[in-house]
Amino acid sequence: MYRFLLRPRWIALMVAVVVLVTTFVLLARWQLQRLDERRALNAVITTNDGAPSRPVGTILAPDRPARSQDQWRQLSARGTYDAEHQILVRYRPLEGEPGYNVLTPLVTTDGNTILVNRGWIPSSGSVRAPASPAPPSGDVTITGRVRQSEHADPGRGRPERGQVRFIDVPQIAGTLPYPVLGGYLELVEPVPTAAGAPRPLPAPELSEGPHLAYALQWYLFAAVAVGGLGFLAYDEAKGGRLRQRLRSADEAAGSRPRRSPAGSPGRRDTRARPR
């Protein structure tokens, strides 16, 4: 009954369906993997962001990258900003508006330095970068969230004309005259607060994203592909009667005459007319 499946045309169709289903399942599993990663990140954010603040030297050290499990932990530091080596980080939109992040080294009281993302400033609306807001002078005490260094290709993470594309801590540290702690801080609480200071960056969003919906969508596509192949094979085994019925129904619907509205041209008015 189903020997027709051995014909080349059906073999090619089945191979195509197998390839499609395999692709859809792999895409669904990839989305589920992304969902697991997002849930793990949310767990780290929830645990670390709610923990009490600790001194920066207890978590970060020079020439040692910040660890993934320390991301978003709040650390405190005291020292003096180095305004001379302040730089702007390009292409940092906030709430859909283009802008820059302001990155300033903070020389701490223990002699180390931590890069501090002081926040966001809007773009000037022109090709030229906006003026970089000066940091507070004198001793300051800050609280910030730990962030890992961003990766840039060798040589492309070094500041040029006071700007940089990525916060690649090792490459930026290579341009500074003092040791720099691994990772950087995303400012939460500056003390004192300076007028015209950059806008603090919002706390990380705890969201699982659309990954589960996308995974279910890919599984649905796989089911539709298998079901479609099964329908075609069953119909072929029955002599194509189901497809013939559908085709006949479509032809009948297309050839059915349309009724003209009352009083419109093309319809005879059979009402009696007064003589």
Q: In 3D, which of 230, 220, 196, 198 has the Cα closest to residue 87?
A: 198
Give bridge partners of residue 97 from the DSSP assignment.
Answer: 94
Digit-coded pLDDT (tens) for 47-57 = 888 788 899 98
233 close to 220: Cβ distance less than 8 angstroms: no
Which residues partner with 119 through β-bridges?
A: 102
Is the predicted pLDDT of residue 190 greater than 50, yes or no?
yes
With residue 38 as reference, give the H or E element that holds it. helix 8-49
Q: What is the pLDDT of residues 234-271, one digit of tens each?
A: 877 776 666 566 566 566 666 556 555 555 555 555 55
pLDDT tens track for 144-182: 999 999 998 888 888 888 899 999 999 999 999 999 999
Ordered DSSP codes for 129-183: PPPPPPPPPSEEEEEEEEEPPPP--TTTSS-BTTEESS--HHHHHTTSSS-EEEE
Q: How far apart are CA 146 and CA 74, in angstroms?
A: 6
- Amino acid in position 195: A
What contacts 24+ positions apart, CB below 8 Å, involve 232-239?
232/13, 233/2, 233/5, 233/10, 236/4, 236/10, 237/1, 237/2, 237/4
Residue 90 tokens, joined:
């390009």
Mean pLDDT of 86-112: 93
Q: Which residue has the higher pLDDT, 125 or 15?
A: 15
User: Residue 275 — very low, low, confident or very high, per pLDDT cuts 50/70/90?
Assistant: very low
- pLDDT value of position 77: 93
196 vs 86: which has the higher pLDDT? 86
Cβ–Cβ < 8 Å for 199, 121: yes
Give the chain's mean pLDDT: 84
Residue found by looking up tokens 């005879």 in the block = 268
Q: What long-range pairs does 209-213 form, CB within 8 A, spacing at least 24?
A: 209/34, 209/35, 209/38, 211/31, 211/32, 211/34, 211/35, 211/38, 212/31, 212/32, 212/35
Q: What is the DSSP letter of 84?
A: G
pTM listed for this prediction: 0.71
Three-class secondary structure of residue 105 per DSSP: strand
CA 253 to chain centre: 47
